[in-house]
Amino acid sequence: MAKLKKGYIVNFLICIFSLFFFARSQAQIFLQNPSFEDTPADATTPQGWMPCAPYTTPDIFPGYWGVYNEATEGETFVGLITREDGSFESISTRLSKNLEAGKCYSFSIDLAHSKTYAGYNGAIKLKIYVGAEKCSREQLIYETDIIKHPEWKTYLIEFFPEKDVRYIHIEASYTKKRFSHKGNMLLDNISPFINCNKA
């Protein structure tokens, strides 16, 4: 009888934990290929992502242009650049479901700067937008300071969408409005979006 009760308790606990993790996973909103996994290549957009700005040719690392960092998640990561002529690179992907207007969401992203990137060695900023359509820049939700650190660091972003949106747009950005230069940013390991409403 004691063994039978113990079995019921174990099964009950397994059910509770299963329901908890199921509910938690349902509360998360996922990106397609959040750690930019693909075959390393230059001028190639990772699977699940779309190029946005004209002349966007991101690179999948490591192994090209003097960039040999290790990924923080999986095997590969992506690099975006800015150019002297004022052009820059940006990419977009679709979320697993809508972010709802007025709700609080949070996620994290790992960022670094490479001191060697085939001459695109300057330090730049990163801007992150959300929008209702691919590549849309309807709401700026985060802008970094100038990223100079060669080691990976995790940045936490918390924001409130102004309207229902389904896409995230990530953009390499110059350090000043009227100053353009050759620069780079390395990106990896975007976490799922979670609801951070304090309820």
| Predicted confidence (pLDDT) per residue in 41-80, tens digit | 999 999 999 999 999 999 999 999 999 999 999 999 999 9
Q: Which DSSP string do the residues of 68-134 spell out, in sequence order?
A: -PPPSSSS-EEEEEE-TTS-B-EEEEEEEEEEPTT--EEEEEEEE--S-STT--EEBEEEEEEESST
CA 40/CA 57 separation, integer angstroms? 13
Q: Rounded to two decimals, what is the model's pTM? A: 0.84
Residue 24, helix vs strand vs coil: helix
Identify the weakest region by mean pLDDT among 100-114, 146-160, 168-182: 168-182
CA 93/CA 120 separation, integer angstroms? 25
User: How large is the average pLDDT for residues 140-161?
Assistant: 97
Residues above pLDDT 70, as percent of the chain: 84
- Domain definitions of the chain by residue range: 1-30, 31-195
Q: Which has the closest alpha carbon to 163: 102, 108, 114? A: 102
User: Is 137 exposed, middle or buried (CB count within 10 Å of its CB: 0-12, 13-18, 19+)?
Assistant: middle
The pLDDT-based confidence of 7 (bands split at 50, 70, 90) is low
Handedness of CA 87, 78, 175, 116 (dihedral sign): negative
More confident residue, 37 or 26: 37
Give the pLDDT of residue 22. Answer: 36
Question: Which fold does the domain 31-195 belong to in CATH?
Answer: Jelly Rolls (2.60.120)
More confident residue, 84 or 4: 84
Residue 9, helix vs strand vs coil: helix
CA 122/CA 113 separation, integer angstroms? 9
Give the pLDDT of residue 36. Answer: 98
